[in-house]
Amino acid sequence: MKTSPTKRSLDKLRADGWTVAVVEKWNPFARIRQDLFGFIDLIAVRGNYTLGIQTTTAANMSARRTKILAEPRSKVWLAPSRGIVLHGWHKVKGKWECKEEVVE
């Protein structure tokens, strides 16, 4: 069964105790997916901390990091109670693994 990086990240975050929601939306007029604030696919909350997560394949992590760092709203998002994490998914010995990177 084929799963998307978004689905895998949802499952991982929930297993780690986060309350998580998808905030990336399909824009049928432009025919593109649009991220919240231009860089967030998922929002996860645990205690007083909130994460903005960009999820992709491991091969695309560099491009997504560049996109996040170029987005002025990412600097506004970052605060002591909020962070940005990049999830990059790849298969190792037939099993999906997540490379997780904190973006600052």
CA distance 45 to 8: 17
* Residue 23 DSSP SS3: coil
Return the pLDDT at 30.
87
CATH number, position 56: 3.40.1350.10
CA distance 70 to 72: 6
C-alpha torsion angle, residues 76, 68, 100, 49 (rounded to 10): 20
When divided into structural domains, the chain yields a total of 1
Return the pLDDT at 1.
59
Mean pLDDT of 75-84: 96
Q: Tell me which residue range forms the domain holding 11.
A: 5-103
- Please indicate, yes or no, whether the overall pTM of this predicted structure exceeds 0.85: yes
| Percentage of the chain lying above the pLDDT 70 cut | 99
